[in-house]
Structure 1
């Protein structure tokens, strides 16, 4: 089975769904850091431009600021190895949240250029649906 690594996905994003779902994800509140990520903007640009793999028509309120509305927030994006949500990009770009070193190395190794498409197999689709 295809295993996708998550980035910028937090338990609180799934709080209104089945209790206990995605307890393995980090807490948003515990993910703030003082660590400076010099290329945070480039990382966010990579995340924004990777292919969408599951579209959701929703509007969610920013979990940190509480006022900004994020269109299609639950939509999923992937580069074939990692998966994240549209609102993940918002949080990682706008707040001092930590980004896993493994993901940073991955994006830098790709020279900030995501693939234009990802695997379209039943196995990949099944892995994606774990996060909706």
Structure 2
């Protein structure tokens, strides 16, 4: 079975109101990604494959610089999973991400793979199992 890791604080399936409780944790990570790297990392995050399409509307909980329709949707590159609005937090604030993800993205030259239908189903099944177990 596929193993995908949560992308730090962004690897949680949560409503906007539940995610807003992470504001202080996000603030501690602001400016950890240099401005020159933010655009390509954000694009990678936006280019992931949608796994769970959620209709939620997310708003910037740090400074009202953005809002995103579907921002609570879960994306993946087959190795990690994250909320779609993670890209906005990286782009606008340079919110830090796990070193393992940075190394993974750098090795891929920040080009997200397109996941096959079978891989999407595997990742979705894993996330469903984790949700049932209360791990997400």
TM-score, normalised to structure 2, is 0.72
| Consecutive unaligned residues in structure 1, runs of 5 or more | 18-22
Distance apart, 1:92 and its partner CA: 1.0
Corresponding residue for 1:6?
A: 6
Residues 99-118 of structure 1: pairs in structure 2 closer than 5 A:
99-118=97-116
Distance apart, 1:101 and its partner CA: 1.8
| Consecutive unaligned residues in structure 2, runs of 5 or more | none
Distance apart, 1:108 and its partner CA: 1.2
Corresponding residue for 1:127?
A: 126
Distance apart, 1:32 and its partner CA: 2.1
Distance apart, 1:128 and its partner CA: 2.6
* Alpha carbons of structure 1 residues 62 and 9: separation in structure 2 relative to 1, 3 Å: same
Q: Greater share of helix residues, 1 or 2?
A: 2
Distance apart, 1:15 and its partner CA: 7.6
Corresponding residue for 1:43?
A: 41
Give the Cα separation in 2 of the matches to 1:34 and 1:113: 21
Which residue among 20, 29, 38 is the counterpart of 2:27? 29
Count of residue pairs brought into register by the alignment = 123
Corresponding residue for 2:76?
A: 78
Q: Is the 8 A contact 1:10 1:27 kept in 2?
A: no
